[in-house]
Chains A and B, each alone.
Chain A
């Protein structure tokens, strides 16, 4: 089946630094990718929708300057957490759909960010 890969799977960084998380579709062209964040013992909250070649659409309450999303190719979307703070520590998960989406979504394994 189709595979979505996230990298890194976990990252620890110092407060104030920026961290980039990659989401790659390995064997299909991902026309749309979605980014979610999940706090411990909570559900997934949609952060933004990213379409290849266009600006991401952010959900209400998500700071676009804080969470930079780039979807430069049909196989790669990146989420950059800028000037990270401890409250940004979370589990970030991406999902991807291909053209002609009929309900089949593919999720990455997630990236755990810890900001010290």
Chain B
């Protein structure tokens, strides 16, 4: 079953612009993770944020987590054409088992 929703479902921007994707989930979590998937390929882990954290940075990525609203956002700054991919959030429940439940995903297109 899907944990939650992501929006937008699709996003198209110009190179250099920022891209923001949002994720909502339904149950309590231990951590929330963001992944990237290029078409037809496997998943690339981007960032993990724990339930007691509110914001995390990694290079051009900024992730926020609001457990009171059960939502997270992923911001990609100064986007590049190579950022074109699908982005998924995934939650790991309070059991902390590694059993991830994925959101619907956002398809990002960055135009050169």
Which residues of B does A touch, CB under 8 Å? Answer: 1-2, 30-31, 33, 35, 40-43, 45, 48, 50, 88, 90, 92, 96-105, 107
Contact = CB atoms under 8 A, between A and B. Distances in A.
A60 B1 contact: yes
Interface of A: 6, 32, 34, 36, 41-46, 49, 59-60, 91, 93, 95, 97, 101-105, 107-110, 112
Contacts of B30: 103
Contacts of B35: 107
Contacts of A41: 107
A109 B96 contact: no
Contacts of A102: 96
A34 B98 contact: yes
Contacts of A91: 40
